[in-house]
Structure 1
Amino acid sequence: MNLPDLQSYRSNFINKGVQLPLPIVAGTENGLLHQLPPPPCGKTGWPWDEQAAPTIYDNRINWPKLTIVTPSYNQAGFLEQTIRAVLLQNYPNLEYIIIDGGSTDQSKQIIEKYAPWLSYYQSEKDNGQSNAINQGFSLSSGRYHAWINSDDYYLKGVFHKVLNKFMSTNADFIYGYGNDYNVVSGKTTTTRVLPFIDYFIKIPSLVQPSTFWSAAIHEPVWEELHCSLDFELWLRLVKGHSRALIKEPLSVANVHEQAKTHSPKMKAQWEADHQKIWAADAHGTVYEWKKIVFLNRIRIRLYKVFGYYS
């Protein structure tokens, strides 16, 4: 497994003239809703004409810096929703970075529309989603990290809940439930997550956009992976570190035919990633994984019997 050196990415940005640390996107007393560009015609509700109440952030608290990275490529139909759902959290100490891979749709124009409220953005060819994520975090100066893909978005008030959880628990990793919104049927389903313990860490169960972690435990994404990059990262990043679960949805994933998680065209790529992950010496054998899968099925049944999912 060859992981990139984020310091080399950081140096490349500095050589291009990027000034570090990046500027902060600070919430205002009345929030950003009426400062941002107006939403597209007909778009209402969160995060279009609603915002998280700025008053939820006690100004007596020194809120830690939160870095959010959005990797983006040709998702103009969803990207504005993603951006607004980050900015309209009105978090008082936000570092927001968008790394777009040189989109050929309207993504660049959308990003530029919100440029005054971004800490940094670029739109140029990169080496895919994993590379974009690593580039983004190489610029980070936040105490806490998360990434949100350009077809997902955060629910209202999530940053307040998550940062309060970090401060009250001193956990290294915070995670929650997630919603899937089917853009064709209009139906929403909720994915509930079991307590994430080390023994079952090899079971893909976390909802990626509902995860946040301390910069102190951050590691690069493995850039050879195209689909299972988040799962493989959790194998390295979460094990042995303290964590806390928020038992409610923190994010929404838009389910559409181009999404990696739901596209039949990506089946072979998922399998290729799977083979790479279990061929990596650090993650054990396929036999061990199958054993854990079997025991996890028993665990899920027990949780259901005792009403965890009720």
Structure 2
Amino acid sequence: MQLDRLANLQNISRLKRILRQLSGYRLGQLEAYAPRPIGLPSDLDTEPYTSPLKFSLVTPVRDQINFVGQTIESVIRQRFSPLEYIVMDGGSTDGTAELVAQYDEHLSHFESQKDEGQADAINKGFARASGDILGWLNADDLLLPGALEYVARFFASHPDVDVVYGDRIIIDAEGNEIGRWILPSHSDWVLSWVDYIPQETLFWRRSLWERVGPYVDTSFNFAMDWELLVRFREFGARFRHLPRYIGAFRAHSDQKTTAQISLGRTEMNRIRARCLGYAPSTAALRLAVAPYLLRHVAREWQWRLSQVFPAKNDLSL
């Protein structure tokens, strides 16, 4: 009986995956299809770019020797200036600090000493930052080619926008593509229910950072980026989703997203209670975000069609 029940559960799970593939629904999934090379255009502009706005980027790291080199390389390959790149190592013991030190000429600041966790490392990094535009990139994620230039040009031409983010590619431990999140236009309302904003694609103005309180909340170990976004919204920030793949999120067995999912649920419900006054049931949550997900599915199919009938000068990657 137990074997039959297990087989039925496996069949249901397989059916759900098939239905998601057919529907185009991918948000929240960390593995949508079998690994394949990242699909990026071969003719991306790699010319150096000088921005009218200075960027400050912080990478917190601890024991990520397998990935941090690729993360740093993805920043260096941006060929972007002025860029202040700060790496804060929390006292790694696996050789991470020694590897990062090899990139010293490309870093504005690097230090390796024990900290109180990811949020603490991010705060210490931003305390040294002087840029007009801020963001952080975790030590297992990547910036995609041309991302900083694209973001800088948008900020420069849209002085009324405070926060931007884009679409994400999901990669595995070997760097193969296993999924994509294609988001619809921004919704302040849905931010009370769920955080679909890809953190590795997120950038904001220093003026907003100083207005809301220049810190990442260290009482959060998992959802500190969502808490920051909610605080941005509380202070009247103007958000904009950019229709371009800006970052790659790496899904692997040792990452915080996988290892601390139980803690993550607790912290997410803490944010929902703050925004809504209560922690909603799963059914209420699904109903609330359904219109947003329908817009996501529409844009997913728009992207799929664009791969069949590509438009000239398409910047969506």
Q: Deviations over 1:163-195 (max 9, x none)?
A: 001111221111100011122694431111222
Pairwise CA distance, 1:278: 4.2
Which residue pairs with 2:276 in the alignment? Answer: 284
Assess if the C-alpha contact under 8 Å between 2:270 and 2:279 holds in 1.
no
Aligned match of 1:160 in 149, 158, 171?
A: 149
Which residue pairs with 2:262 in the alignment? Answer: 268
Work out whether 1:251 is the aligned partner of 2:244.
no
Work out whether 1:234 is the aligned partner of 2:229.
yes
Pairwise CA distance, 1:246: 1.7
Aligned match of 2:137 in 136, 148, 152?
A: 148
CA RMSD of aligned residues (A): 2.7
Which residue pairs with 2:168 in the alignment? Answer: 178
Q: Quote the sequence identity (%).
A: 25
Which residue pairs with 2:102 in the alignment? Answer: 113
Which amino acid counterpart does residue 207 of structure 2 have in structure 1?
A
Q: Trace 1:292-307 onto structure 2 (pairs within 5 A).
A: 293-301=286-294, 304=297
Aligned residues: 255
Assess if the C-alpha contact under 8 Å between 1:184 and 1:256 holds in 2.
no
Which residue pairs with 1:225 in the alignment? Answer: 220
Uncovered stretches (5+) of structure 1, i.e. residues with no partner = 1-44
Aligned match of 2:82 in 90, 93, 99?
A: 93
Report the CA distance shift for 1:271/1:300 in structure 2 as closer, same or farther (over 3 A): closer
Q: Deviations over 1:25-70 (max 9, x none)?
A: xxxxxxxxxxxxxxxxxxxx99xxx996234x2x6xx621100000
Which deviates more from structure 2 when the two are superposed, residues 284-293 or residues 149-158? 284-293
Report the CA distance shift for 1:186/1:118 in structure 2 as closer, same or farther (over 3 A): closer
Pairwise CA distance, 1:130: 0.5
Pairwise CA distance, 1:72: 0.4
Which deviates more from structure 2 when the two are superposed, residues 153-162 or residues 199-208? 199-208
Assess if the C-alpha contact under 8 Å between 1:169 and 1:244 holds in 2.
no
Report the CA distance shift for 1:302/1:68 in structure 2 as closer, same or farther (over 3 A): closer
Q: Secondary structure at the match of 2:241?
A: strand
Q: CA–CA distance in 1 between the matches of 2:196 and 2:99?
A: 32
TM-score, normalised to structure 2's length? 0.73
Report the CA distance shift for 1:51/1:124 in structure 2 as closer, same or farther (over 3 A): farther
Assess if the C-alpha contact under 8 Å between 1:65 and 1:142 holds in 2.
yes
Which amino acid counterpart does residue 242 of structure 2 have in structure 1?
I
Aligned match of 1:53 in 46, 58, 62?
A: 46
Q: Deviations over 1:103-125 (max 9, x none)?
A: 00111111110112211111000
Pairwise CA distance, 1:267: 2.5
Q: Deviations over 1:74-110 (max 9, x none)?
A: 0010000111111221112011111110000111111
Assess if the C-alpha contact under 8 Å between 2:167 and 2:198 holds in 1.
yes
Which amino acid counterpart does residue 232 of structure 1 have in structure 2?
E
Report the CA distance shift for 1:236/1:288 in structure 2 as closer, same or farther (over 3 A): farther
Assess if the C-alpha contact under 8 Å between 1:303 and 1:309 holds in 2.
no
Q: CA–CA distance in 2 between the matches of 1:201 and 1:241?
A: 13
Q: Secondary structure at the match of 1:244?
A: strand
Uncovered stretches (5+) of structure 2, i.e. residues with no partner = 1-37, 305-317
More helix, by proportion: 2
Which amino acid counterpart does residue 212 of structure 1 have in structure 2?
F
TM-score, normalised to structure 1's length? 0.75
Q: Secondary structure at the match of 1:94?
A: strand
Which amino acid counterpart does residue 210 of structure 1 have in structure 2?
T
Report the CA distance shift for 1:209/1:238 in structure 2 as closer, same or farther (over 3 A): farther
Which amino acid counterpart does residue 86 of structure 1 have in structure 2?
V
Instruction: Considering Cα pairs closer than 8 Å and 6+ residues apart, tell me whether 1 or 2 has the greater RCO.
Output: 2
Which residue pairs with 2:197 in the alignment? Answer: 206
